[in-house]
Structure 1
Amino acid sequence: MTREEVLSAFNSIRVWTNGDRRAVHEPLLVLLALSRVNDATSQTMDWNDAEPLLKNLLEEFGPDGSATTRHYPFWHLQTDGLWQLDGPPEILKRPAGATPTLTELRQNHVRGGFTMPIYKALKADPELVGIAAQRIVDAHFPESIRGDVLDAVGLAQTESMGTPKDPQRRRDPAFRAKVLLAYQYRCAVCGHDLRLGQQSIGLEAAHIKWFQAKGPDDVSNGIAMCSLHHKVFDLGAFKILPETYQMVFSQHLNGSEAASHRMLAYHGAGLILPQAREYLPHPINLDWHARQVFKSPERGG
């Protein structure tokens, strides 16, 4: 297979269902498989080896509760034409919709991996592994956490190599400037407003509904945040209530007493609001983030 044929196969990976509902199982499994191509001696991996790794990735980077269906991509990815399974015939002959249980995959040591043509192409072109991985994270995760996703699977972040984009959608280059102006150049969570001359330092425009989920580049879908609060917002550490604009943090957020206190000091506090009502975070976007990104359960009080 040529490099472009391999990349085209990876482009078909499904991640968005029902328009904007996240289903990151397949991209994360593929990234996990890519991470072992250059070092592994076997084309496939045993589900017993893949399961704990995929479970951890889904708990960290997937929607709330997605780890409970962690075995789905291992089985269903074969329908995309880039994955194959090895195991007992009585399991492999099942129809695509008859997903084996976790127990069946474990006890039968079902193995999965890239098809031989794709595997051989990746082995022959080590640089292709990095290109494919970068395209996947570019297409499915916001910029704030792409490096974290690649680090978690043991791959290095590289300069994007022509990531496929929706030809009907282009990012608005003025989005950041509009959002920062609306919030008067300060983080809406902590008030961070450090500048060097006229240049804001460490201040970013966070999409509430991710651009990858067709979130618009409108100010009502953006919030000015420092880089730290932007990252934890994209990881689902807190959500924003649509009526009161209060910040509610996840019970999963933890750390040293000093670190967690600094972060959790904002639990229940109100967002620093923009300077005009038309810039307020749109309830529909806040609801999407609460359903698709926030890590339940929320903290009390």
Structure 2
Amino acid sequence: MGLGDIRYEHVIAATEEFRRLGRDTFLRTYGFGRARSYELVLDGRRYDSKALAGVAHGYATGHFLRAADFSGGAATVARCLRELGFVVETGEPSSNSAALLARLRNLKVSRGPGNPAPSRHQPLSLLWAISRAADERPRLTPWPTFRDEVGPLLVEFGLPNAKATSEYPFWHLQGSGLWEVRGVPSELAEKMPNARTFAELEPEAGFTAEAADLLRDPVTRLDAIATICETYLEDIDRQALFARTGLSGYTAAGGLLTATGEESGGAATDEYERVTGPAPRREATRSVIVRDEALARRVKELEDNRCQICGTALRHLNRPYSQAAHVRGLGSPHHGPDELQNLLCLCPNCHVLFDGLEIYVDSDGLVRGTRDDRDPRPLRRAPGHPVDEAHIAYHRTLCTLTVRKPDVG
């Protein structure tokens, strides 16, 4: 079964599903990342060519191809789609993303008379808006919601002695070219309306449609967060900031469980505080990501169940034991692909350190500690085990957000 099984009508069926689900859901459902090169263009819309071909193959044969199933690469997919009569262009998301990041670096922020540091009102508001984009919430937010949610952020993380005026970023972020305000009549839009006018009109504001579309890409979104933090919020506690802005998912690379400090009631104890009964239980319902276990077994076989970082080969119950670790996490907000190029074979200790952003792989392939507390050592890679450098770079960028800045190459 190959791409030759695909016909025109199968591709059309895949585009219809793409539009129905939306790009992010479509890509996650079928295990693909965003296209970095070729895009199919149809009726003014752009589609990720590789993902589209994989789903079209499913419509043709019943077997849906995943990213790891394509041996010929994106160029082969593009040629197949063109032969079927479709227009396939070299996408330029990188240039559009670069323009977005440039605008973020050059916000028109004010500076107080007694403080040369740039105001944090706009950067903090943008982080809050990015968290909404990551949660796939509505692009535009009503003024009361913006005021009630952003206002406390400005008080907590704004410059000392700065006024927490939510209406300022709500309105003036339009100067960035990434933001729009709707619901203010043109006769009142020549200058910023006051808070009373906002309360009467209840306008909406948020990213422009173009900026919001770019920020749906997890890589662009991470780059945007890093750009804002490094340009305007260098001295802020990132852990606390991300927790308050809804970006706590960026404090780890994977699905680490974190302590909440909450107690739901313990087991019964006697007067000496000795447990007198079984540990309590509670009902819980959760949604989990379905991983490709065949891929996990494959990476372990390629690396002979030996940790690629420390070289440890463990045994458990008289059998080899290792863990398949995703470089870019599968879940929200990272939405990494479940593919061999995104997997490492690690021991449990290194897996926890890697997901917890305590270690990273630098641009030379050396594993380093983010707190400079370990000697660098090369990441082992067995023949036949490709690792996508884009995923490694994504993990490095995560490390810049919450710990000492690593060599990002």
Shorter-chain TM range is 0.3 to 0.5
Q: Which has the larger radius of gyration?
A: 2
What TM-score comes out, normalization by structure 1 length?
Answer: 0.47
RCO (CA 8 Å, sep 6+): is it higher in 1 or 2?
A: 1
TM superposition score normalised by structure 2:
0.35
